[in-house]
Amino acid sequence: MFGHPANGETPEWHLLVFFSPSIIVLARVPGRGVRPEGLSSHECLMPSSSQPFMEQGRGGCGHTSLTMAIVIVVASVFLTSLAAACPIPCTCPISGSVVDCGGLHLLCLPSRLPDGVRLLELSHNNLSHLLVGTFQGLWGLRVLLLSHNILRDLSGGALGGLSFLEQLDLSHNQLAHLPPDFSATLGSLLRLDLSHNLLTSLDPSSLWRLGSLEQLDLSHNQLAELIAGVFGGLFRLHWLSLAGNQLQRVEGAALAVMPGLEVLSLAGNDISELEAKAFATLGALGLLSLVGNRLQHLEFKAVAGIRTAGTRLLLADNPWTCDCDLQRAFGKLGHLRHLRVVDLGNLTCAGPERLSGAVLSGVEAQLCLAETATVLGITGAVLLTVAVAVLMAERKRRQGPEEAGELGSFLER
């Protein structure tokens, strides 16, 4: 294939001879010291096995002509433009608008990202930090996927230049905090995933400029409390997950600024009590999950404050103390047309011991029997005492005239 052409053969054969080596030469990457311009270390890229192919196609062609030279130059320019559009070792399935660098174990970002990229896939790598200015100039970028890396810090304007970004996935990293300027250039962001990190608290200023955000996933972190106003500015948020954290209580002040919130998940926390008006300001709430917390009693006022028609509550996997108070609370809930406990059949009793493991809906009618009996006993005793007192008073009343008559007869004698 790479030998000299035979007499009489067409020029297309020459095109193959020169074009094939051009492809191989231009595709030559981290082999023997060849790396894209701007990379400081070959460690940013995966090892390549392209070197054996470098030895192919080096047999010369004895026939050179101006036509073949032009073909080589055009092919080289074309391939060079492709190489510039798609950074090595990534792939670009949609001509530069999608750049897939996922799962390559990269230690740093590839240089010279195409200006027209709209989706940048960087998940499943070994990125530990982002340099300042990394994304500058990528005005068309709409989706940035950075999940399953080892990112620990985003300070210093690491996300600068992403003014038009709509989706950011930072899940499954090692972020312990968000810097105050985290949202400084993310005003167009619609979806933010920060789940499965190490966040212990949230600075209100970190999220303050996310005015367009619609979905926020903070699940599976280490959040122990929510500071008042922490979600200030998230006026368009309609989906929020705080599941799998370490929250012990929920205060209304932390949720007061999200009038459009429709879905709120607090599942898998350590919540043992609900503030009376914790959810009163959530006028659009359609689903509230409190599954898997430490609730023993239900504060009726806390959930009755939700005024949205058709709101669904999820309350399973809590250690409910099945007593008359709990029966009354659920009895009241049953009369509220705008609220519905959709997993009522899955609620089980953790106490008292005689009811441990019993399904709440199966024993609900029995929970107030003992208290009712006690009340009836006390009422009966009171009525009996009153009846005895009335009889004694009546007896004394009747005995009064008789004793007075006997006393008068005695005096006349």
CA contacts within 13 A on the Cβ side of 114: 24
121: helix, strand or coil: strand
177: helix, strand or coil: coil
Structure tokens at 204: 């209100």
In whole angstroms, give the CA distance from residue 402 to residue 389: 21
Burial category of 166 from C-beta neighbours within 10 Å (exposed 0-12, middle 13-18, buried 19 and up)? middle
**Which of 9-23, 146-160, 355-369 ranks highest by mean pLDDT?**
146-160
In whole angstroms, give the CA distance from residue 360 to residue 273: 19
- The domains of the chain are located at 12-85
By residue count, the chain amounts to: 413
Per-residue pLDDT at 37 exceeds 60: no
Q: What is the pLDDT of residue 6?
A: 47
Q: What's the pLDDT tens digit per position in 224-260?
A: 999 888 998 899 999 999 999 999 998 888 888 898 9
Per-residue pLDDT at 281 exceeds 50: yes
Q: What is the pLDDT of residue 184?
A: 93
pLDDT band for position 70 (cuts 50, 70, 90):
low
Q: Which helix (H) or strand (E) holds 375?
A: helix 369-412
Given a contact cutoff of 8 angstroms between Cβ atoms, the answer to whether 399 and 359 are in contact is no
Average pLDDT, the chain: 79
Given a contact cutoff of 8 angstroms between Cβ atoms, the answer to whether 186 and 168 are in contact is yes
Q: What is the pLDDT of residue 71?
A: 41
Structure tokens at 144: 């940035």
Q: What's the pLDDT tens digit per position in 321-342?
A: 999 999 999 989 888 888 999 9
Question: What count of other Cβ atoms lies within 10 Å of the Cβ of residue 145?
Answer: 20
Respond yes or no on whether the N-terminal peptide bond of residue 114 is cis (omega within 30° of 0). no
In whole angstroms, give the CA distance from residue 121 to residue 100: 5
Structure tokens at 336: 């509220």
Structure tokens at 351: 């106490």
In whole angstroms, give the CA distance from residue 312 to residue 341: 6
Of 32 and 344, the one with more pLDDT: 344
In whole angstroms, give the CA distance from residue 151 to residue 129: 5
Q: What is the pLDDT of residue 94?
A: 82
Q: Which helix (H) or strand (E) holds 381?
A: helix 369-412
Q: Residue for token digits 């600068």?
A: 160
Supply φ then ψ for residue 395, to 5 degrees.
Answer: -65, -45
In whole angstroms, give the CA distance from residue 385 to residue 394: 14
Residue 377 vs residues 171, 323, 384, 385, 389: alpha-carbon distances, Å: 60, 19, 10, 12, 18
Which among 214, 221, 224 has a CA at the least distance from the CA of 246? 224
How far does the chain reach from its first CA to its final CA, in angstroms? 160
342-366 in b/e burial notation, b at 16+ Cβ within 10 A?
eebeebbbbeeeebeebebeeebee
Contacts of 69 (CB under 8 A, 6+ apart): none
Q: Residue for token digits 């212990």?
A: 200
Q: Bridge-partner residues for 123, per DSSP?
A: none
pLDDT band for position 66 (cuts 50, 70, 90):
low
Which among 279, 270, 269 has a CA at the least distance from the CA of 300? 279
Per-residue pLDDT at 305 exceeds 90: no
Which among 189, 245, 178 has a CA at the least distance from the CA of 216? 189
Structure tokens at 203: 């600075």
